[in-house]
Structure 1
């Protein structure tokens, strides 16, 4: 099997030996969707237990990445490929940096290293009755960040569950509306705002400037919020190509205080809407 055939979930999580333990997300001993996803990473990807596929994946599982087969067949192929590779070290650090749950959607933010390359990944899963039914993702190679205090994936990781989820979602939604309408973003960006996205930093124009560059035409598909964190799934155009664009915002005191993103071009010959 070629590496490109497992460019998504398998490659993204290949170094996982154990997803971080679920914390205080249970209610009356019922497993949450976030816990189910973390368990999927641990048992299916990390421990490569193909026999557990029926416990995690519905038969008609929908894969929105064009490089992976649909249904359980795609997951089975990916895990069987992982079995041909050396197992991850016992002390390997989980690449899962953040996990955000909003109803039947779970977004995860990963920092992985593979074949000498470091990449940032955002996965998005949809679940129904505790089973994974759909998957979306984006992956972006990262520049050398040696010695940098702020990197593409570091920063705040713990969700503040005392924060209002709906308020956080509203702040991000209003920010995007201000960008689309070419209005000032000063009402929504904190003075101590920290930018982690390599592409935004390299642009030199700030987040609002990056999003409102000519011909970018950002389109939001989903906002996934939990506490003070909000993940946005969107797309934009640049140089005649469409990009899948995932962002994570941290909101504090009614302002956007921190921002991460992952962007990936839609492959030639693929209908952009099929990736959403």
Structure 2
């Protein structure tokens, strides 16, 4: 959305019963997501998706595998979404720091598929 949070209702229906968040740090509902994003911004924590490596979908589930920065760290994002009526209704996510390539134990990294 490139920081255009007023467009979030195009992707998630407002209301706590329409969006289930599986993060222990974010409450359900688009309002909980917006509050978490605002809190991160107030703390100076940035979250940026820079490259989408893979999108897989089956039925009403979509997995997005991306690369970016979180709080100044180079990270991998894995976002699993469940959709209903073309809107996101459920989200599971994982963020993992990617070490410098000199510290890798193999040559394929997070995105060597």
Deviation at 1:115?
A: 4.0
Structure 1 alignment gaps of length 5 or more: 1-42, 157-276
- How many angstroms apart in 2 are the aligned matches of 1:116 and 1:71? 27
Q: CA RMSD in A?
A: 3.0
Structure 2 alignment gaps of length 5 or more: none
> TM-score, with normalisation over the residues of structure 1?
0.34
Q: Is the 8 A contact 1:120 1:141 kept in 2?
A: yes
Aligned pairs for 1:233-244 within 5 A: none
Q: Which residue of structure 1 aligns with residue 8 of structure 2? A: 53
Deviation at 1:147?
A: 8.8
Q: Which structure dedicates a bigger proportion of its chain to strand?
A: 2
Count of aligned residue pairs for this structure pair: 108
Highest Rg: 1 or 2?
1
Q: Is the 8 A contact 1:50 1:79 kept in 2?
A: no
Q: Is the 8 A contact 2:67 2:75 kept in 1?
A: yes
Which structure carries more relative contact order (alpha carbon 8 Å, separation 6+)?
2
> TM-score, with normalisation over the residues of structure 2?
0.73
Deviation at 1:113?
A: 2.8
Deviation at 1:57?
A: 0.8
Aligned pairs for 1:117-136 within 5 A: 117-136=73-92
Q: Which residue of structure 2 aligns with residue 219 of structure 1? A: none
Q: Which residue of structure 2 aligns with residue 152 of structure 1? A: 109
